[in-house]
Amino acid sequence: EFGEDQGDEADLVPRPPVVTVMGHVDHGKTKLLDTIRNTNVAAREAGGITQHIGAYQVTTTLDGEERKITFIDTPGHEAFTAMRARGAQVTDIAVLVVAADDGVKPQTIEALNHARAADVPVVVAVNKIDKEGADPIKVRSQLTEYDLVAEEYGGSTLFVDISAKEGIGIDNLLEAILLTADAELDLRANPDMPAQGVAIEAHLDKGRGPVATVLVQRGTLRVGDSIVCGEAFGRVRAMLDDNGKALKEAPPSCPVQVLGLTSVPRAGDNFIVVPDDRVARQIAQQRAARQRSAEMAKSGRRRTLEEMFKDLEKGKVSELKLIIKGDVSGSVEALEDALLKIDVGEEAKLRVLHRGVGAITEYDVNLAMADDNAVIIGFNVRPEVRARELAEREGVDIRYYSVIYQAIEEIEAALKGLLKPEYEEVVTGTAEIREIFRVPKIGNVAGCVVRSGVITRNSKARLIRDGTVVADNLTIESLRRFKDDVTEVREGFECGIGLGYNDIKIEDVIETFEMREKPRA
């Protein structure tokens, strides 16, 4: 749905870089974002009311040329990672803030690792140089150990000394961002196509209804466009920039607040412009269905491939029949090619009944049933709700993969009769909910004590009430000790856990787990 096609090279024009500010807590991320924004106020039209809408754009000059930079107005890598987890790549450049009086800290490195995982170039803002004890040189040498070498030391990373508080070095930082963008990235987009992008922030406003800040990534978004954003849809009734000024259109890299959606999307949801409201509604409903099924999805049954092999062995069937669904046509083709190359001799053969792109549908399940227990392979896709229900009722085996070789190995093993369940679930930690905190915009956060093992951020989790699983497929979205974000909390310690799931109760148990490779017999 989020197409790659932007037309010809010739249609691409430069777009501003999109920047996320990351770094250790208290090193000045929020202050820096405010300062950059306020420094730029002069360049704005008078009379606007500054509002935090989740992102803003500033204008600066480089080599006499007027240039824009878009800043994501949520400091920290949490939002960055949450969006990435949802498949949205929003950031082009990361500004890594390091307080010169405090130096490199664990979260500095964590932030750096996130930027690297996303393949995003880093500009280092050495902050608080106004403070006594500030040692910007030390910051540079500390980061050298993490292969982040300042240009002046022969490396390729721009370090800029700043004081977010005193407004020192801000222009240099903006310049460094643009220089890094120009040197390392090809930031161009086609403005002449229906807009696509990502929701950065959204909420329900009492007077205005659902309000979403979106970042346009391609094309131009216009008032009157019908859009789908995650499971939300609607027609753009009005667009506002971060000065509250009404816009008629928003080009690539422009963040705008959009009014007119019929429900509130989630941060990280992609949006697209579609031909009309009807199509928008349809897509949104399909997505909602898919989302529900993803929430319901547990790991697929592990039985049928073995059964299938037994049938093969007994000569009851001579073919393993597959239906392959994948997220993009390239992966489906690659997987099909690879599977068809598996050769285990004449006796056991493999046949692909159907292949396609998109969620597993009722059609696929029906086809599998019709053809005597064909197995459905979901490569980075999940079933729609009805398809899942039907598959469960009828015992159709759906197997999920996200790595081609794993699919190949398992199916080859099935064909050879060597199949052992490759993974088993291991509970890694449990925590009991002692208190519930209502956090505006985030939802309920569980005040917990870790009862066993280790609770690790980003790990998979489920919620257990009176011994019954009441919600599965959750994630430890946030993990805090007191005011600090932490990556793990051990048995006996207290912590705050955000699951992105609000229906929690005191005494509920949060259980985290992971799939581990099972040793082969």
Interacting residues with ligand GDP (CB under 6 A): 23, 25-31, 75, 127-128, 130-131, 163-165
Cβ distance to ligand GDP smaller for residue 75 or 260: 75
Query: 333's torsion region: left (phi>0), alpha (psi -120 to 50) or beta?
Result: alpha
Cβ distance to ligand GDP smaller for residue 127 or 190: 127
Cβ distance to ligand GDP smaller for residue 136 or 230: 136
285 CB-near residues (< 8 Å, 6+ apart): none
Residue least distant from ligand GDP (Cβ): 28
Cβ distance to ligand GDP smaller for residue 107 or 190: 107
Q: Are 72 and 254 in contact (CB under 8 A)?
A: no
Residue 94 Cβ vs ligand GDP, minimum distance, rounded to whole Å: 14
Residue 59: half-sphere exposure toward Cβ, Cα within 13 Å: 8
Distance CA 470, CA 448 (A): 18
Residue 38 Cβ vs ligand GDP, minimum distance, rounded to whole Å: 13
Query: 380's torsion region: left (phi>0), alpha (psi -120 to 50) or beta?
Result: left
Residue 166 Cβ vs ligand GDP, minimum distance, rounded to whole Å: 6
- Looking at residue 311, its amino acid is D
Strands 443-456 and 494-498: antiparallel
- Looking at residue 8, its amino acid is D
Residue 372 Cβ vs ligand GDP, minimum distance, rounded to whole Å: 60
Cβ distance to ligand GDP smaller for residue 104 or 368: 104
Distance CA 108, CA 110 (A): 5
Helix axes 385-394, 277-296, angle to 10 degrees: 40
Cβ distance to ligand GDP smaller for residue 105 or 116: 105
Cβ distance to ligand GDP smaller for residue 136 or 300: 136
Residue 45 Cβ vs ligand GDP, minimum distance, rounded to whole Å: 27
In 3D space, the residue among 191, 220, 194 whose CA is nearest the CA of residue 11 turns out to be 191
Cβ distance to ligand GDP smaller for residue 79 or 280: 79
Neighbouring-strand partners of residue 76? none
DSSP 150: B
Q: Are 268 and 201 in contact (CB under 8 A)?
A: no
Cβ distance to ligand GDP smaller for residue 311 or 485: 485
Residue 192: half-sphere exposure toward Cβ, Cα within 13 Å: 7
Cβ distance to ligand GDP smaller for residue 103 or 383: 103
Residue 34 Cβ vs ligand GDP, minimum distance, rounded to whole Å: 8
Residue 174 Cβ vs ligand GDP, minimum distance, rounded to whole Å: 16
Residue 160 Cβ vs ligand GDP, minimum distance, rounded to whole Å: 12
Residue 241: half-sphere exposure toward Cβ, Cα within 13 Å: 18
CA angle 373, 377, 381 (to 5 degrees): 135
Residue 184 Cβ vs ligand GDP, minimum distance, rounded to whole Å: 25
Provide the edge-to-edge strand list for the sheet that holds 18-23.
55-62, 65-72, 18-23, 93-99, 122-127, 159-161
Residue 109 Cβ vs ligand GDP, minimum distance, rounded to whole Å: 15
